Amino acid sequence: MLCRRGRFKILDILILFVGCTTLGHSEKLPTASNQTSKPLVLDGMGKGTADLGGLWQFHLGDDPQWARPSYDDSKWESLLVDSPWGAQSHPSYAGIAWYRRHIDIIPEPGASGQFRLLIPNAQDAYEVYWNGKLVGRYGKFPPHAYWYYNVFPRSFPIDGGSGGVLAIRVWKAPLDIFSLAESGGIYETPVLGDPDSIDLNERAILWAHVREDLFDYSLVLLRTFIALLCVVLWTRSRTEQLFLWVGVFTITPVGLGILQNLFFVPFSYELARCINQPLYVLSNLSLWYLLVWLLRLNENPRIMYWTGIVARSTMIVGLLDGMVALFWGDATLWMQWADGILAGCILLSELFPFVLIALGLRRRLDASRWTVALTAFLVQLIRTVADSSALGQRFTHWTLYANLIDNNSVQIQGVIFGPEKITSLALFAAILYAVYRYVLETQARRAVLEQEMQSAREIQQVLIPETLPSLTGYAVTSAYTPAEEVGGDFFQFLVHPDGSTIVALGDVSGKGLKAAMNVSMIVGAMRAEVATTTSPVKILTALNQCLVGRMHGGFATGIVFRLDPDGTVTFANAGHLPPYLNGSELELEPSLPLGLLNQASYSEISVRMNIGDLLCLYTDGLLEARNQSGELFGFDRLHHLFADRPTAQQASEAAIRFGQDDDITVLTLTRLAAGEESTTEMVTPGLARAI
């Protein structure tokens, strides 16, 4: 309600104009009697209660003298106290007025003479005087006004040993855009009785409210559970925003219900309305995004963009309207205009779901989504029509709000089910069913994706050898840690019949399944080429020609070298980071990565490894490891790392501890002395987790 003590609605500026044209044609309200009310005689008061109904003397304005029992109120007008003053002779009046009633209380023999006065319903703040003495108050009067968002019954002590004058001073807060003309003052007949009977009456009033809202209490538990479940699901997968908006849509009615007296929390009017306005807007926005996701409109970037614009604008308006409420006790004309204009903007935004529903109906939807669309259309239609009617109703005298919202059409064991509640429950059920279907669809898609990822993992086993060959005269270590389940790094050891070994190390742009497929193409082409040549330049040239135009905008860096039994190493590089020999970077001629240009050329360089020499090769994931401060691992740390002659695992773990950001692959080869046994060490923790 925008400020309707039940929901939050809008369209002010139009209503203010309509109001100006309809003031002259307002409904004729009951008029007050000029008859002076007779003293009320309560004879034999003991246990039990007595209604203080009938005509009371009434006067607009304020004067402390009016509390005195000796004051002559015979010329005051007379009003009934079972109906607000706005419904009798003072429509749309906001301010202070007084009620007075002369009462003769004659206690029964043996009665204590101590009674209490129960006022079930009065707006908005009031003070009770008995024989000129203040016996209690409800709220505070201006200039520091304090009144409650919802009306609570209150009782006050009355010394009934003798007769006297009961005077009630009442203040009605400034009217907002949803206030009725028929409002203000005392709404229900005050009751006088002994303390026990009054306590029972007060409890009966509260129980009547509880009984009406019994179904809402059960809904609070259900909505809270569903909201918490959705938040948990969303935190596990932030991309599934549907769960977030289901949670918001589910929990906002709980917040609104708490504000609207569901648990009898005595919120001040200004604070409660300040919270209510943006909370109601948030409830609307959550419905929008639910429709966007359930109707698959999130696949359209343009719709998402405009939904975001309208949502942010509406939320700003709701926050501004809530801020206006903080100062409502001293509301001036410009504040009432501002309230009307802001409310009007929010009401206009309530047309946006119809746009989303219309766009969604153009798509092919299953039955669950059709159900959501149709029930959402019905709910929003009822809300919009009712809110438009409630806006400025003291000017327009439209009754659609009363007919649609206040019409308690269905009652079951005293529990009220109005049209809006029934349709809202239908929408809630439809959304839950649609979300259930959405989860099933998502699980099916994930099963397909998981199958694809399993295939990619199997491909990865081809890209990264399960074991390393034993190379005579060399100790070999390798470590491969992908950033995701399937990485874009690769390395291969291909032993040639002539006794040489071709070693390839590379990195494909991108990650995941696409990168794995590109790597599989590279490894397949390279193995085919190694069967015909051991020249690193020829291998890279053939790979480049195979990849140009087939990587869909991607590329690959790589280094290929031939390792001969005598320690000669011949390198050819395709845009890859140069290797390190004994802690010093080898200078290789710059060249283009693979897959960019068909005419790219490559060159060779040969070095000789002596006994004890250490050759280290790596991918850029090692160099570009990044810590929480955003600092890169960098070349300086790389130099110090390789200067310490680490194994591949030690080098990889150093980068992982610093902060892995990409796939990391490290190879090391150490030249052994004659007769020394060759060793291999291979660490692939990423693949071990994935397989």
Residue 629 has pLDDT above 90, yes or no: no
Cβ-contact 170, 151 below 8 angstroms: no
Token pair of 611 as six digits: 């006994």
| pLDDT band (50, 70, 90) for residue 231 | confident
The total number of structural domains in the chain stands at: 3
Place of tokens 């909505």: 223
Same-domain status, 228 and 106:
no
The pLDDT of residue 434: 81
The answer on 424 and 336 residing in a single domain is yes
Rg value, the chain, Cα: 41
Contacts of 315 (CB under 8 A, 6+ apart): 278, 281, 282, 285
Q: How high is the pLDDT of residue 324?
A: 92
Q: Which of 145, 163, 196 is the last residue of a domain?
A: 196
Residue 488 and residue 621 in one domain: yes
The pLDDT, as a whole number, for residue 688 is 44
Could you say which of 196, 223, 250 is where a domain stops? 196
For residue 602, being part of any structural domain is answered with yes
Let me know whether 626 and 662 are in one domain.
yes
CA dihedral angle for residue 464, residue 611, residue 471, residue 583, rounded to 10 degrees? 0
Shared-domain flag, residues 395 and 533: no
* Token pair listed for 609: 């490894």
* pLDDT for the residue numbered 471: 85
Return the residue matching tokens 């609070």: 220
pLDDT at 185: 93
Comparing 78-82, 403-407, 668-672, the range with the smallest average pLDDT is 403-407
Residues 387, 246 share a domain: yes
If asked whether residues 147 and 222 sit together in one domain, one would say no
We report the CATH number of the domain holding residue 129 as: 2.60.120.260
What gap in Å lies between CA 262 and CA 646, rounded to an integer?
68
Say what the pLDDT of residue 161 is: 64
Tell me the C-alpha distance between 563 and 502, whole Å: 6
Residue 27: strand, helix, or coil: coil
Pick from 278-282, 450-454, 574-578, 687-691: least confident:
687-691
> For the segment 584-604, what is each residue's pLDDT rounded down to a tens digit?
999 888 899 998 888 888 999
Query: What confidence score (pLDDT) does residue 376 get?
Result: 81
The arithmetic mean of pLDDT across residues 624-646, rounded, is: 89
Tokens representing 404 are: 């649609």
184 and 225 in a single domain? The answer is no
- Do 44 and 188 lie in one domain? The reply is yes
Examine the pLDDT at 432 and tell me if it is beyond 70.
yes
pLDDT tens digits, residue range 265-285?
888 999 999 999 999 999 999
Q: Is residue 454 part of a domain?
A: no
pLDDT score recorded for residue 97: 96
The 3-state DSSP class for residue 48 equals coil
Identify the domain containing residue 539 by its residue range.
464-690
Report the pLDDT value the prediction gives residue 27, as an integer from 0 to 100: 36
Q: Is 207 a member of any domain?
A: no
* CATH number for the domain that contains residue 671: 3.60.40.10
**What percent of the chain stands above pLDDT 70?**
87
User: What integer pLDDT is reported at residue 271 of this predicted model?
Assistant: 92
Mean pLDDT of the chain: 83
Number of residues in the chain: 691
Domain annotation covers residue 352: yes
CA distance 645 to 171: 87
User: Per the domain annotation, does 620 fall within a domain?
Assistant: yes
Note whether residue 149 is domain-resident: yes
**pLDDT average, residue stretch 489-507:** 86
Q: Among residues 378, 409, 444, which one ends one of the domains?
A: 444
Contact 480, 531 (CB under 8 A): no
In a domain, 209, yes or no: no
Average pLDDT over residues 259-266: 81
Confidence band (pLDDT; 50, 70, 90) for 110? confident
Same domain, 192 and 218: no
Q: What is the pLDDT of residues 9-42, one digit of tens each?
A: 333 333 333 333 333 333 333 344 444 557 888 8
pLDDT surpasses 70 at 84: yes
* Cβ burial, residue 598 (10 Å; 0-12/13-18/19+): exposed
Residue 666 contacts residue 604 (beta carbons within 8 Å): no
Residue listed under structure tokens 């470590």: 479
**Range from 327-341, 430-444, 612-626 carrying the lowest mean pLDDT:** 430-444
**Higher per-residue pLDDT: 407 or 652:** 652
Peptide bond into 124 cis (omega under 30): yes
Residues 318-344, mean pLDDT to the nearest whole number:
90
Please give the Cα distance from 298 to 239 (Å, whole number). 12
Residues 167-194 have a mean pLDDT of 92
274 & 179 share domain? no
CA distances from 145 to 63, 138, 260, 684 (A): 18, 11, 20, 72
pLDDT category of residue 314 using cuts at 50, 70 and 90: very high
State the DSSP H helix or E strand holding residue 259, giving kind and residue range, or none if neither: helix 241-259
pLDDT, average across residues 316-330: 92
State the pLDDT confidence band at 490, using cuts at 50, 70 and 90.
confident
427 and 290 assigned to the same domain: yes
24 is a domain residue: no
How does residue 411 score in pLDDT terms, banded at 50, 70 and 90? low
